[in-house]
Amino acid sequence: MKTALIVGIAGQDGSYLAELLLQKGYHVFGLLREKERLENIEHLKKKIKLIYGDLRDKKSLEKAVLKVKPSELYNLAAISFIPASWKNPTLICDVNALGVSRLLEIIRDRSPKTKFFQASSAQMFGKPKECPQSEKTNFSPLNPYASSKLFAHFLVQSFREKYGVFSCSAIFYNHESERRPPEFVTRKITQGAVKIKLGLEKKLELGNLESRRDWGYAPDYVRAAWLMMQQNKPDDFVIATGKLHSVKDVCKIAFTTLGLNYKNYVVVKKEFIRKEEPVKLLGSVVKAKKILNWKPRISFEEMIKKMALYDLEVLKK
Amino acid sequence: MKRALITGITGQDGSYLAEHLLSLNYRVFGLVRRSSTDGLERIFHILKNIELVEGDLLDQHSLVRALEKAKPDEIYNLAAQSFVPASFSQPIYTGEVTALGVTRMLEAIKSVCPKVKFYQASSSEMFGRVRESPQSEKTPFYPRSPYGVAKLYGHWITINYREAYNLFAVSGILFNHESPRRGQEFVTRKISLAVVRIKLGKQKKLVLGNLDARRDWGFAGDYVKAMHLMLQQNSPEDYVIGTGESHSVRDFVTNAFTVVGIKDWQRYVKTSKEFLRPSEVQRLIADPGRARKILGWKPETSFKELVKMMVETDLEREK
């Protein structure tokens, strides 16, 4: 029986990955910080084992790795909300980049057979010079979050090349789900639309409606993470849908699902328009399709519908 | 009178830059870490002319206080854990100083002196496994060591702050630059010192890694002038600084032995796997065209002159 340690298990991706690995018969351990909200893993509590630790605390990571002796370690923990990265840039680097360095050192020195997965981000492309972006596209990160992720990305490569650690990175494009925190725009919209439907709110304030992203469904993405760890050789992959949709598209689908017209409720607010909005981040998934035989199973429309209907269920109660 | 704060003033580049700025009539402040061994030998001769401020790139608050005290017009961030092999054994420390230290400094600048001009010492190690040769400001990065990775983060975070907060912040992507003040753990200084000691009968062998490894080596004294020039421009931009010539370790060795009059150098030189880098960078060679055109900068010291200077200085010291 394989054993996996998921760092960041209580988050969106961590909880979906835990479900997937349990299905595949893994023994699943999760690392999380104290006081983290457990709602995403409440339903798995009896099947997984939780260990408390923090990416900033090397000792806690080392203890966890030595206790679990994982065959696969997935690092899905990060401070991932971009606007916050301008408020706390040093903390973000400590967690997102040095945290990876700590994990890689522990694997190198104490558990060299453990395979390591790192969730990199399409934000590393920032202002890309080509579209779509592939594994060969040059990086130009635009904010402390993206810079910290790039730092980690190259550390993963360094440890792979120098020490032969089985370490790989997925360059994940935006991926959403019913478990996406509400400060992210997709969930903000589905929750907002439901609140309007239920008469709890009258308006939904958003930034740039024309802003376009490559949005996929989180459970599809964690499946790609698992596939990457089953390859003979560690390698990096772009994981995306290869399709662009606008914030307006999210609004349309979410409101229509609830029988509403978004035009009557959505208000554009300047303060939500992001500094340095990245342009046309669109992933090319040729390599992932070819080598991992991976492609997304849930379409954009299905995803937004799922999210809106889920929010309706929850908020009705 | 302009005021400059130099982090890493006790290092090779810091000491040359301090001399250069003093010659231009700057008031020079240097950030120094408290240490039980003072490590001031490189700036001993100018100690009376500069002012030292205590502080550490690991300590955010110490940077704020240093900026409040020095009230600089220009800041040169030259401090780093800069030895590549050590970055493999101490990646987290390297990240804390070389990467996060830059963010801490930028944060301090943002709150204390957002009008200051900031120079970040980026490195050709960021090119690592080079994607094209020679390397210019447009060449993509692919660092291969925790040092190169940390420097790349410092490079991007400098650009992030420049673009988001309109800071006058620039990065100089400097290729290898050597001098008689280079630390003895670096290959050029290791060679110059060993050659001199062999000449004087104090040492028998010089053990090196890959003799065919090639680098673009310039003189640190020339490079600090480029740093200063970058901060005198109207707009903050990044520049590649190098000689545009590459030489092998073997070239350095033969030139160094020639300076002391030894021809059969092969007798003294051995190679050992111990000094091979796990992931060697290749074909590092600068295209300094932009610096030449816009800054009017070019190296004044040739490779041969550099080797000669290093060997002769070590000869003086060892005699």
- Single-letter residue type at B276: L
Residue where the block lists tokens 């959403």: A176
Give which of B84, B88, B92 to mutate to test A binding, by max A Cβ within 10 Å.
B92
B280 pLDDT above the threshold of 70:
no
Find, in chain B, the residue whose alpha carbon is nearest to that of A153.
B149
Q: Do the Cβ atoms of A27 and A1 come closer than 8 Å? A: yes
A144 touches chain B (CB under 8 A): yes
Distance in angstroms (rounded) separating the CA atoms of residues A55 and B95: 14
Stated as kind and residue range, the H or E segment containing A238 is strand A237-239
Helices A58-68/A99-110 angle, 10° precision? 40
CA nearest neighbour of B56 among B2, B105, B113, B119 = B105
* DSSP designation for B265: G
**Parallel, antiparallel, or unpaired: how do β-strands A266-268 and A204-206 relate?**
parallel
For residues A246 and A185, the answer to whether their CB atoms sit within 8 Å is no
Partners of residue B164 in chain A, C-beta under 8 Å: 86, 143, 275-276
Q: Is the CATH code 1.10.260.40 the one for domain B183-215+245-280+302-318?
A: no
Beta bridge partners of A72: A4, A115
Are B110 and B261 within 8 A, CB to CB? no
C-alpha–C-alpha distance, residues B123 and B223, integer Å: 12
pLDDT value at residue B263: 93
pLDDT given for residue A137 in this prediction = 95
Using a CB-CB cut-off of 8 Å, the residues of chain A touching B153 are 93, 97, 147-148, 150-151
**Which positions in chain A touch B144 (Cβ < 8 Å)?**
157-158, 161-162
Question: What are the backbone angles phi and psi of residue A295, rounded to the nearest 5°?
Answer: -150, 155
CB contact under 8 A, B92 and A98: yes
Residue B278 above 80 pLDDT?
Answer: no
Question: Cα A316 vs. chain centroid, distance in angstroms?
Answer: 28
Neighbour tally for A253: CB within 10 Å: 23
Nearest CA in chain B to A93: B100
CA dihedral B61, B63, B65, B68 (to 10 degrees): -140
Please indicate whether residue B23 is annotated as part of the active site. no
Token duo for residue A309: 């209907």
Beta-carbon separation of B153 and A158 below 8 A? no
B100·A98 Cβ contact <8 A: yes
pLDDT tens column, B71-98: 999 999 999 998 888 999 999 999 999 9
Among B58, B147, B153, the residue to mutate for chain A (most A Cβ within 10 A): B153
Write down the catalytic residue from B119, B147, B161, B223: B147
**A201 CB contacts (<8 Å, ≥6 apart)?**
A192, A195
Nearest residue of B to residue A103, measured between CA atoms: B92
Quick one: pLDDT at residue B131? 84
> Could you tell me which residues are beta bridge partners of residue A120?
A171
* Pair type for strands A212-213 and B27-32: unpaired
Nearest to residue A229, comparing CAs of A69, A17, A27?
A17
Sign of CA dihedral B279, B285, B287, B292: positive
Nearest to B294 by CA among B246, B241, B244: B241
Taking CB atoms and an 8 Å limit, are A158 and B144 in contact across chains? yes
Q: What is residue A121's DSSP assignment?
A: E
- Chain A residues in contact with B106 (beta carbon < 8 A): 89
At the fourth CATH level, which superfamily is domain A3-175+218-239?
A: NAD(P)-binding Rossmann-like Domain (3.40.50.720)
Averaged pLDDT, B284-301? 97
Q: Does A155 lie at the interface with B, CB-CB under 8 angstroms?
A: yes
Residue A38 vs residues A35, A245, B58, B102, B266: alpha-carbon distances, Å: 9, 31, 34, 35, 67
DSSP 8-class letter at B131: S
B93 is catalytic: no
- Residue A261 neighbours by CB distance under 10 Å: 11
With vertex at residue B71, the alpha carbon angle to CA B173 and CA B155, rounded to the nearest 5 degrees, is 20
* pLDDT value of residue A173: 97
Rounded distance between C-alpha atoms, residue B292 and residue A276, angstroms:
31
Q: Which helix (H) or strand (E) holds A51?
A: strand A49-52
Q: What is the pLDDT of residues B142-162, one digit of tens each?
A: 999 999 999 999 999 999 999
Q: What is the 3-state secondary structure (H, E, C) of B237-248?
A: CCEEECCCCCEE
pLDDT at B308 over 70: yes
Is the torsion defined by CA of A227, A228, A230, A231 positive or negative?
Answer: positive
Chain A residues near residue B104 by CB distance under 8 angstroms: 90
For residue A68, the Cα-to-chain-centroid distance in whole angstroms is 24
Strands A212-213 and A245-246: antiparallel
Query: In angstroms, how far is CA B184 from the centroid of its own chain?
Result: 14
Instruction: Give how far A274 is from chain B: nearest CA, Å.
Output: 11
What distance in Å separates the CA atoms of residue B228 and residue B23, rounded to the nearest whole number? 12
B125 is annotated as an active-site residue? yes
Catalytic residue (one of B19, B74, B125, B178): B125
| Region B299-317 average pLDDT | 97
Amino acid symbol at A129: K
> Which run of H or of E encompasses B28?
strand B27-32
Q: What token pair was written down for B115?
A: 């009008």
Nearest CA in chain A to B161: A143
β-bridge partners, A121: A172
Residue A84's pLDDT is: 79
Instruction: Please judge whether A141 and B100 are an interchain contact, meaning their C-beta atoms are less than 8 angstroms apart.
Output: no
What pLDDT score does A278 carry?
Answer: 55
- Please identify which of the residues B15, B122, B123, B171 carries the catalytic annotation: B123
Side chain identity at A278, as an amino acid letter?
P
Residue contact A151–B107, C-beta within 8 A: no
Contact A102 B143 (CB under 8 A): no
Q: Which helix (H) or strand (E) segment is A218 a member of? A: helix A218-229
Closest CA to A310 of A174, A173, A172, A182: A182
Contact status of A93 with chain B (Cβ, < 8 Å): yes
- The residue type of A54 is D
CB-based burial, B197-212: b 16+ in 10 Å, e otherwise: bbbeeeeeebebbbee
Domain ranges of chain B: 3-177+219-241, 183-215+245-280+302-318
Is residue B170's pLDDT more than 70? Answer: yes
pLDDT per position as a tens digit, B191-232: 999 999 999 999 999 999 989 888 999 999 999 999 999 999
**Interchain pair B88, A162: CB under 8 A:** yes
pLDDT block averages, 10 residues each, chain A of length 317: 96 97 98 91 96 95 97 95 86 96 97 98 93 95 96 97 96 97 94 97 93 95 98 98 96 98 94 65 97 97 98 93
Looking at residue A306, its pLDDT comes to 98
> What is the predicted pLDDT for the residue at B160?
96
Establish whether domains B3-177+219-241 and B183-215+245-280+302-318 are of one fold.
no
Question: What letter does residue B311 receive in the DSSP assignment?
Answer: H
Which member of A97, A146, A163 has the closest CB to residue B95?
A97
What does pTM read for this prediction? Answer: 0.87
CATH code for A179-214+243-277+298-316? 3.90.25.10
CA dihedral A290, A293, A294, A296 (to 10 degrees): 100
Q: Are strands B206-208 and B269-271 parallel, antiparallel or unpaired?
A: parallel
Take residue B305 and report the two structure tokens written for it.
């002159």
Nearest Cα residue in chain A from B128: A158
Q: Give residue A274's pLDDT.
A: 65
Residue of chain A whose Cα is closest to the Cα of B101:
A90
Task: Give the start-to-end residue ranges of the domains of chain A.
Answer: 3-175+218-239, 179-214+243-277+298-316
Residues of chain B with C-beta less than 8 angstroms from the C-beta of A162: 88, 144-145, 278-279
Query: Is the CB of A161 less than 8 angstroms away from the CB of B150?
Result: no
Residue of B nearest to A128 (CA): B140
Homologous superfamily of domain range B3-177+219-241: NAD(P)-binding Rossmann-like Domain (3.40.50.720)
